[in-house]
Amino acid sequence: MNGSIRRAGTVRGAVLVVVLAFSAMMGVAHADHAGEMKARESFAAGRFDEALELFAKLYAETLNPIYLRNIGRCHQKLREPQKAIDAFHDYLAKGKKISADERAEIDGYVKEMEALRDEQAKQAAPPAPVQPIAAPLPSAPPPGYAAPPPGGYPAEPPQASGALVAQP
């Protein structure tokens, strides 16, 4: 009788351990689900910075590559092309069961982000320096031009004597 009580206690203990382990796993799964729902809600509401933080946390906790795709989409919406490209490439490298259609979709996102990156680089590049264009010097004086007399003009104009003075 003593042996059967011990076996029953051992079985109950084992069942308790299994139940507690399962409960803990369900709690983590529920927490992951709640975190994922919050991240999705943030993305759908256009709060891409918040969604990015949540998806990054989920990826760090689970290492599930689907979160890399979501991280890439957040960077895409935030117009951060290089970060989006990097996340999409990581997703393609780490994702095990990516269909041909999904791969094509991600490749389209990458091309879109490469075009945005190039556009942003053009806009950020300083404009080419403008060289001032010097007016050409005349090759001859204009018609009717009279050179100043040798020694220059007098400091004071001549006093009028009542007669008209012709200009040289």
| Residue carrying structure tokens 């094509």 | 104
- How far apart CA 168 and CA 166 sit, in angstroms, is 6
Mean pLDDT for 47-61 is: 97
Average pLDDT, the chain: 80
Mean pLDDT for 40-68 is: 97
The rounded Cα 109 to chain-centroid distance in angstroms is 14
Provide the 8-state DSSP code for 108.
H
Mean pLDDT for 92-107 is: 96
| Confidence at 42, pLDDT banded by 50, 70, 90 | very high
Mean pLDDT for 115-121 is: 96
Checking if the pLDDT of 131 tops 50, the result is yes
The total of other beta-carbon atoms located within 10 Å of residue 8's CB is 10
Residues 49 and 68 sit within 8 Å (Cβ to Cβ): no
Radius of gyration for the chain, computed over Cα atoms and rounded to the nearest angstrom: 41
| Residue carrying structure tokens 């507690």 | 20
Alpha-carbon distance values, 162 to 56, 154, 159, 165, 167 (Å): 98, 19, 9, 9, 15
Is pTM, for the whole model, over 0.85? no
Q: What is the pLDDT of residue 168?
A: 58
Residues 58 and 67 sit within 8 Å (Cβ to Cβ): yes
Q: What is the pLDDT of residue 159?
A: 62
